[in-house]
């Protein structure tokens, strides 16, 4: 929970109404995706939603759907967008909506654990992993499952759940399951498998796949995520979890997400309006600037290299521009602490099952914050503080 | 989780677009508060909200607030409404917003448990209690707390948390804590402590008080609740819980809740527009009709009696018209099963820690459903099925 604590205490640089000063602490620990605000501003009223006082009052959206609290318009929008992008199979899948994919990840772990005979079920992910997985699977101290850390060193018997994030958070690499034992289940987190971040090389059809509205369009405040689930019993158990956890998902947010996802679909082949094209250019520019600073630093810092790949969505050979930069340093330094002295908050690599030589840096902040980050990173190298 | 399962399978009578037939199953198990839709329709555009595509994108609403994901406008609306109604002290309280009070109740149990040295902490409520408390405290199989059932028979040593719902769900009675040992904490659930349901006899100032948007105005689909919390550390721990559980609360729903709560405040002294006045008349009419059917049945059924009390909000002696009717039968019958044969779904008393002679019946359904319920209840008596 450290990340958002920092944010709360020192978010002055993330507040768009503030002018950035040299004294401003900039927070690149969390992945608040404010980078895309400009695009939505330019879209004008095209994405405006209006909700009347008597709309959306019931707990129920569609009593005949397994996920009875999901707005039918949102389900249609989700299926339509995946069909247009080709980044997930939705045929013969149940869709479960959640209060962000955070709630859905916990719903999936709970559902898969509850159908196993022996407890606790081991939960693991290959390092470096999304640090929040640790918090999500430990804070309740459930007897049903147990966080076991790095999947690569997992050698226990019995049922397990492997969390596979691809492209990976924090390091942007393309991932597959690594344990592959008969008694395991895999939850695929495809939060970043969208064409502004990475080439769409295949259309995954795994049993459980998670997506989040936040990281597609940047609407993190809406707290909307969804799961594509092959097995009806698993989908039902996830719905039961969300029912007891929060009796469904706010319908205003669902309605707005449906509107915006439909705009993504409608514009995705437009040369002038495509959000994915806009997003890719934005990410590309930032990555080029970051790589230039790293180069100028005489490679005192490190960044992962990503292979080019053919993107089925764009029909072109494309590079990968992850939402987070996994920045390392060559010497045995605590990079997070050094950056903190420069008033840059990042997520320490050891929180992600790696080491303190690495940090996760959000690439999704506003332009002025990103510029200040580059400046301070360059200073760290120039001042020979490493 | 039985309640919503039934709902899903047989919600045909709760769907406002359907015409009710004799064959329709009517669902009064859950408390879907569609009764108030008419009022909001009459308010026209006064409660319409409009959200632009670039609004509300960040995870953060106010980085300087303990509850950093709460929209400032919602906090102001909550404080304003409590001040106008006089049903809770908000001065020197932290407000924590949740995805319904369901999420907040779990956040509070988690927060209070996490600050105790020994686990599991016992969780209890005086029977008959809200059956969902059982599910909320057992589904995760947490090592931190343990559901111990009826507070009146609780005789264990050690830390405990008592849930006090007042007016009570399911039976509408005014409640106080019953255990009162030094090692206990109390969470007050004031979901129904509003002037359309019950006289406002005092302004509570307990340490943790829960409220829900659903049962005030009937906007259950928004999933907005809030807690008034005296202790900063408890508030912070609740915020941490909600952060890991769902990274905050959908901001579109918060924005709309703020708008509607403000309208409640603005109209609450109006002779023609007051929502509370409207709601009270609606509930009064329904209760009078229900009591008439019970009387006509030669009191084969029972209903609780509620004392009149002076309501500080209205300045009048008022009766209580609870959101649920706690219907009993005099003989040793399984009333829920008998009503189910009449195609009326209710919540069985044994699920609320009571007996099968009692059922909880929602009084918050639409008019046509309520009429059909009265008809079927009368038939049950007339046909001497009891």
Question: What ipTM, to 2 d.p.?
Answer: 0.95
- Cβ proximity of B294 and B304 under 8 Å: no
Q: Mean pLDDT in chain A?
A: 93
What are the residues whose beta carbons fall under 8 Å from the beta carbon of B362, sequence distance 6 or more?
B28, B29, B30, B31, B32, B323, B324
Please tell me the predicted confidence (pLDDT) of residue A4: 45
Instruction: Out of B46, B58, B102, name the one closest to residue A247 (CB).
Output: B102
**pLDDT tops 70 at residue A2:** no
pLDDT tens, position by position, B332-361: 889 999 999 999 999 999 999 999 999 999
pLDDT tens, position by position, B239-287: 999 999 999 999 999 999 999 999 999 999 999 999 999 999 999 999 9
The closest alpha carbon to A52, from B45, B42, B38, belongs to B45
User: What whole-number percentage of chain A has pLDDT above 70?
Assistant: 94
Please tell me the predicted confidence (pLDDT) of residue B294: 95
**pLDDT tops 70 at residue A211:** yes
Instruction: Out of B11, B50, B219, name the one closest to residue A48 (CB).
Output: B50
**pLDDT tops 80 at residue B293:** yes
Tell me which residues of chain B, numbers 222 to 241, contact chain A at a CB-CB cutoff of 8 Å: 222-224, 240-241
What CA–CA distance (Å, rounded) separates B231 from A167? 41
Other beta carbons less than 10 A from residue B80's beta carbon: 17
Give how far A232 is from chain B: nearest CA, Å: 14
The closest alpha carbon to B150, from B170, B173, B127, B171, belongs to B127
Tell me the pairing of strands A316-318 and B309-311.
unpaired
Q: Does A34 touch chain B if contact means CB atoms closer than 8 Å?
A: yes
Please tell me the predicted confidence (pLDDT) of residue A3: 40
Q: Name residue, tokens 């349901």.
A: B197
pLDDT tens, position by position, B147-184: 999 999 999 999 999 999 999 999 999 999 999 999 99
Q: Mean pLDDT in chain B?
A: 93
DSSP annotation string for A244-269: HHHSS--HHHHHHHHHHHHHHHHHTT
pLDDT tens, position by position, A25-83: 999 999 999 999 999 999 999 999 999 999 999 999 999 999 999 999 999 999 999 99
| Partners of residue B144 in chain A, C-beta under 8 Å | 140-141
Please tell me the predicted confidence (pLDDT) of residue A117: 77
Distances (CA, A) of B28 to B10, B91, B143: 11, 38, 34
- Cβ proximity of B63 and A76 under 8 Å: no
End-to-end CA distance of chain B: 28
Q: Does A244 touch chain B if contact means CB atoms closer than 8 Å?
A: yes
Distances (CA, A) of A17 to A12, A21, A39: 9, 13, 18
Mutation test of the interface with chain B: which of A17, A24, A58, choosing the one with the most B Cβ atoms within 10 A?
A58
What is chain A's Cα-based Rg? 21
Q: Does B45 touch chain A if contact means CB atoms closer than 8 Å?
A: yes
Please tell me the predicted confidence (pLDDT) of residue A332: 81
What CA–CA distance (Å, rounded) separates A303 from A272? 32
| Partners of residue B14 in chain A, C-beta under 8 Å | 58, 60, 63
Please tell me the predicted confidence (pLDDT) of residue B320: 97
Tell me which residues of chain A, numbers 143 to 182, contact chain B at a CB-CB cutoff of 8 Å: 143-144
The closest alpha carbon to A88, from A245, A200, A7, belongs to A200
Distances (CA, A) of A126 to A104, A149, A329, B59, B95: 20, 8, 21, 27, 38
Up-side HSE of residue A160: CA atoms within 13 Å toward CB? 24
Q: Does A18 touch chain B if contact means CB atoms closer than 8 Å?
A: no
Say whether pTM exceeds 0.90. yes
What CA–CA distance (Å, rounded) separates B161 from B13? 38
Please tell me the predicted confidence (pLDDT) of residue A386: 59
| Partners of residue A36 in chain B, C-beta under 8 Å | 57
- Cβ proximity of A63 and B8 under 8 Å: yes
pLDDT tens, position by position, A176-203: 999 999 999 999 999 999 999 999 999 9
Confidence of residue B386 (pLDDT cuts 50, 70, 90): low
For residues A239-243, give the mean pLDDT.
98
- Pick the more confident residue, A298 or B66: B66
Centroid of chain to Cα B53 = 33
Q: Is residue B202 classed as helix, strand or coil in its secondary structure?
A: coil
What are the residues whose beta carbons fall under 8 Å from the beta carbon of A238, sequence distance 6 or more?
A96, A104, A107, A108, A110, A111, A227, A229
As given in the structure block, the two tokens for residue A1 are: 């929970």
The domains of chain A, with CATH numbers, are 5-42+275-381 (3.90.1150.10), 72-267 (3.40.640.10)
For residues A276-298, give the mean pLDDT.
96
Other beta carbons less than 10 A from residue B98's beta carbon: 31
Please tell me the predicted confidence (pLDDT) of residue A264: 98
Mutation test of the interface with chain B: which of A7, A15, A106, A140, choosing the one with the most B Cβ atoms within 10 A?
A140
Is A139–B244 a contact, with Cβ atoms under 8 angstroms apart? Answer: yes
User: What whole-number percentage of chain B has pLDDT above 90?
Assistant: 89
What are the residues whose beta carbons fall under 8 Å from the beta carbon of B33, sequence distance 6 or more?
A57, B214, B215, B218, B219, B220, B323, B364
**pLDDT tops 60 at residue B5:** no
Q: Is A41 exposed, middle or buried (0-12, 13-18, 19+ CB in 10 A)?
A: exposed
**pLDDT tops 60 at residue B33:** yes
For residues A346-350, give the mean pLDDT.
97
**pLDDT tops 60 at residue A12:** no
| Partners of residue A225 in chain B, C-beta under 8 Å | none
Q: Does B293 touch chain A if contact means CB atoms closer than 8 Å?
A: no
What CA–CA distance (Å, rounded) separates A122 from A138? 12
Give the H/E segment covering residue A124: strand A121-125
Q: Where are the beta strands (DSSP E) in chain B?
A: 26-27, 49-51, 94-99, 121-125, 145-150, 160-165, 184-189, 208-212, 224-229, 301-302, 309-311, 316-318, 324-329, 344-345, 347-348, 358-362
Is A51–B48 a contact, with Cβ atoms under 8 angstroms apart? Answer: yes
What CA–CA distance (Å, rounded) separates A346 from A308? 27
Give how far B382 is from chain A: nearest CA, Å: 32
Centroid of chain to Cα A232 = 25
Tell me the pairing of strands B94-99 and B145-150.
unpaired
Please tell me the predicted confidence (pLDDT) of residue A21: 81
Tell me the pairing of strands B184-189 and B208-212.
parallel
DSSP assigned state of B20:
P
What are the residues whose beta carbons fall under 8 Å from the beta carbon of A130, sequence distance 6 or more?
A163, A165, A169, A170, A189, A352
For residues A125-149, give the mean pLDDT.
97
As given in the structure block, the two tokens for residue A45 are: 């009223």
Q: Name residue, tokens 């409404």.
A: B81
Please tell me the predicted confidence (pLDDT) of residue A258: 98
As given in the structure block, the two tokens for residue B150 are: 């009826």
Confidence of residue B381 (pLDDT cuts 50, 70, 90): confident
What CA–CA distance (Å, rounded) separates B336 from A142? 34
DSSP annotation string for B319-368: ----SEEEEEESSS--HHHHHHHTTEE-EEGGGGTS-TTEEEEES-S-HH
Confidence of residue A381 (pLDDT cuts 50, 70, 90): confident
Is A221–B61 a contact, with Cβ atoms under 8 angstroms apart? Answer: yes
For residues A127-144, give the mean pLDDT.
97
What chain B residue is nearest to A68 in terms of C-alpha separation?
Answer: B8
What CA–CA distance (Å, rounded) separates A197 from A205? 20
What CA–CA distance (Å, rounded) separates A280 from A284? 6
Q: Is residue A229 classed as helix, strand or coil in its secondary structure?
A: strand
What chain B residue is nearest to A58 in terms of C-alpha separation?
Answer: B221
Size of chain A, expressed as the number of residues it contains? 386
Confidence of residue A298 (pLDDT cuts 50, 70, 90): confident
Distances (CA, A) of A99 to A65, A104, B137: 18, 7, 20
What CA–CA distance (Å, rounded) separates B17 from B12? 9
Is B250–A221 a contact, with Cβ atoms under 8 angstroms apart? Answer: yes
Please tell me the predicted confidence (pLDDT) of residue A345: 97
- Tell me how many residue pairs between chain A and chain B have CB atoms under 8 A apart: 257
The closest alpha carbon to A199, from A116, A95, A71, A306, belongs to A306
Is B246–A222 a contact, with Cβ atoms under 8 angstroms apart? Answer: no
Tell me the pairing of strands A145-150 and A121-125.
parallel
For residues B55-75, give the mean pLDDT.
97
């Amino acid at each position: 929970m450290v990340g958002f604590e920092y944010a709360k205490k020192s978010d002055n640089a993330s507040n768009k109404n503030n002018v950035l000063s040299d004294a401003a602490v900039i927070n690149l620990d969390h992945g608040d995706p404010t980078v895309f605000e400009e695009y939505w501003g330019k879209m004008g009223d095209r994405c405006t939603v209006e909700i009347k006082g008597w709309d959306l009052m019931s707990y129920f959206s569609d009593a005949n759907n397994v996920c009875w609290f999901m707005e039918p318009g949102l389900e249609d929008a989700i299926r339509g967008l995946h069909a247009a992008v080709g980044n997930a199979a939705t045929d013969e899948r149940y869709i479960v909506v959640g209060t962000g994919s955070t709630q859905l990840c916990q719903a999936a772990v709970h559902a898969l654990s509850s159908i196993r005979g022996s407890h606790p079920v081991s939960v693991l992910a290959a390092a470096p992993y999304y640090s929040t997985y640790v918090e999500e699977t430990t804070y309740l101290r459930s007897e049903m499952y147990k966080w076991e850390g790095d999947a690569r060193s997992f050698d226990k018997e019995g049922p397990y759940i492997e969390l596979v994030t691809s492209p990976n958070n924090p390091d942007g690499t393309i991932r597959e399951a690594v344990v592959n034992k008969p008694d395991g289940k895999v939850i695929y987190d495809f939060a970043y498998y969208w064409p502004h971040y990475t080439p769409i090389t295949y259309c995954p059809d795994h049993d459980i796949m998670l997506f989040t509205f936040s990281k597609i369009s940047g609407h993190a405040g809406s707290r909307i995520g969804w799961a594509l689930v092959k097995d009806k019993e698993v989908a039902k158990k996830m719905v039961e979890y969300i029912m007891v956890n929060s009796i469904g998902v706010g319908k205003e947010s669902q309605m707005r997400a449906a509107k915006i996802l439909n705009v993504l679909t409608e514009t995705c082949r437009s040369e002038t309006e495509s959000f994915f094209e806009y997003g890719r250019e934005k990410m590309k520019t930032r990555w080029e600037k970051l790589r230039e600073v790293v180069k100028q630093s005489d490679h005192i810092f490190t960044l992962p290299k990503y292979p080019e790949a053919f993107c089925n969505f764009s029909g072109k050979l494309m590079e990968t521009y992850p939402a987070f930069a996994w920045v390392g340093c060559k010497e045995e330094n605590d990079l997070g602490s050094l950056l903190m002295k420069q008033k840059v908050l990042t997520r320490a690599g050891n929180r992600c099952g790696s080491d303190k030589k690495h940090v996760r840096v959000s690439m999704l902040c506003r332009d002025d914050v990103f510029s200040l980050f580059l400046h301070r990173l360059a200073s760290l190298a120039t001042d020979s503080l490493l």
